[in-house]
Amino acid sequence: MYDIAIIGAGAVGGFVARELSRYNLKIVIFEKEVDVAGGVTKANTAIIHSGYSPKPGTIKAKLNREAIEIFPQVCKELDISYKKTGSLLIAFNEESMEAVHKKYTRGIKNGVKSLKILTKEEILAIEPNMNKNVYGALYSQDTGIVNNWDMAIAPCENAVDNGVALRTREKVYRINKSEDTFYIDTEKDQYQSKVVINCAGLFSDEINQMVGKKSFKIEPKKGQYFILDKNQGSMVNHVIFLAKSENDKNTKGMIIAPTINGNIIIGPSSQNPCNKEDMSTTVFGLNKVKSLAKDVIPNLDFSKTIKTFAGLRPKVDFAEDEENDFIIEEDQHVGGLINVAGIKSPGLTCAPSIALMVKDIVENILGKLQPKDDFNPYRKKVIRFNELDEEERNKRIKENPLYGKIVCKCENISEGEIIDAIRRNPSPTTIKGLKFRTMVGMGRCQGGFCMCSLIEILSRESNKKRLRWDGDKNSLGDKSMEKMDG
């Protein structure tokens, strides 16, 4: 019997597990994918929002403010790459400037610090590649960028190190409750738990309906993105948001931003996909993104695109307005079931503070939680060879010559780093999982140079002869090799 069963091992599920692992609780996480960070977390803008956008008084506004305060310490403890860049919400006419002023007013009400309205001249002084017709902008100092994959991988690693059981490739297909016990059926076994925490992202409505009444429905929203080569990285210095016209329904709000690894990410579009697993890109969606981006930074060179991709956001479809606040509460009809749903932007930012809110709900159900004496908040340090100085590099190579064997020349990733990632817990069992942990194969050639070496290393270290790329159809397993189309 578990005290806590968490469904979903994305950023939210990972941070909830990590927070609850501080206490004397028996905890399990179920994840239907082969690895953590397999859903909403894996494909987004990876931006840490300062908090001026949510409607004052909402759960989003409260948690965004709280998250910004604790974020630097969280990243320090979990060794998550994070950089405070600041942001500009830009306008090109009086109409969109009204939207900028509204966001400024919201930000002040939400307690956001260091907000400032900038003139055209002030904008061009800090963003010289900006369209010279820019009208004005809202500057926010606290906006930052992060490694979005690490926002799930790191807390899950720390949670597992602190005693949480992680069960990947275990899709939950039935939940029943009898008296004070939940009976959870997966594809592999049946489990019992006192509390169920629903962090299933796009599928959280389906999990809710297994045991509760239909109280909400998730509608996926698809966003499409470009990643530009690092030689375009100097084109922007801040996270740039394009103030969205009230009549524009084709974009979430254009973003042009540096990534934590020095590339530029551009997007997203906004479409209603056919299903919750539709990660396809379209010519129409990408062209829309490209056109808007060129209006903002005219000299962006899209011939330097190294990757396009799509991500899905979980929107609650019957909200009264477009605010779509988070759902974080014990189910009204089923005691012990905690729904954490509709977690879209700024959900990545809020994941640590969502976990604190969930912990309080758990205490209301189970009573005062008893802290562990041996809880360790620190994740095992990740060796990032290209961030080391020459002295430290030489030291590492002397200790282990594989740190001097560069496998990925685009991102300067060594075999030592790859092996270190494979030997962590949870271990990547797919090529894509390895990429998410090390950035290997994420550069200009997108694995064209290093893929054969990656396959050989992962096969050797995992003691598996057959590998697949990602997911149940092409993951590491005992079936024959399937397509490697990523």
**Which of 305-314, 322-331, 440-449 has the least mean pLDDT?**
322-331
Rounded to whole angstroms, how far apart are CA atoms 183 and 3? 12
Residues involved in catalysis: 49
Kindly report the pTM of this predicted structure.
0.94
**Spatial contact of 250 and 270, defined as CB atoms under 8 Å apart:** yes
At residue 391 the predicted structure's pLDDT band, cuts being 50, 70 and 90, is very high
In the chain the domains, ranked by start, together with CATH numbers, are: 1-81+144-217+318-381 (3.50.50.60), 87-141+219-316 (3.30.9.10), 385-462 (1.10.10)
Q: Which of 1, 427, 445, 437 is nearest to 191 (CA)?
A: 1
Answer whether residue 218 shows pLDDT above 60.
yes
Rounded to whole angstroms, how far apart are CA atoms 446 and 211? 43
**Which of 14-23, 68-77, 466-475 has the least mean pLDDT?**
466-475
Q: How far is CA 252 from the centre of its chain?
A: 17
| Cβ count near 176 (within 10 Å) | 12
At residue 215 the predicted structure's pLDDT band, cuts being 50, 70 and 90, is confident
> For the chain, give me the number of helices (H) and strands (E)?
12, 21
Which tens digit of pLDDT belongs to each residue from 162-181? 999 999 999 999 999 999 99
Instruction: Kindly state the DSSP code that residue 275 receives in the 8-state scheme.
Output: S
Range 86-100 average pLDDT: 96
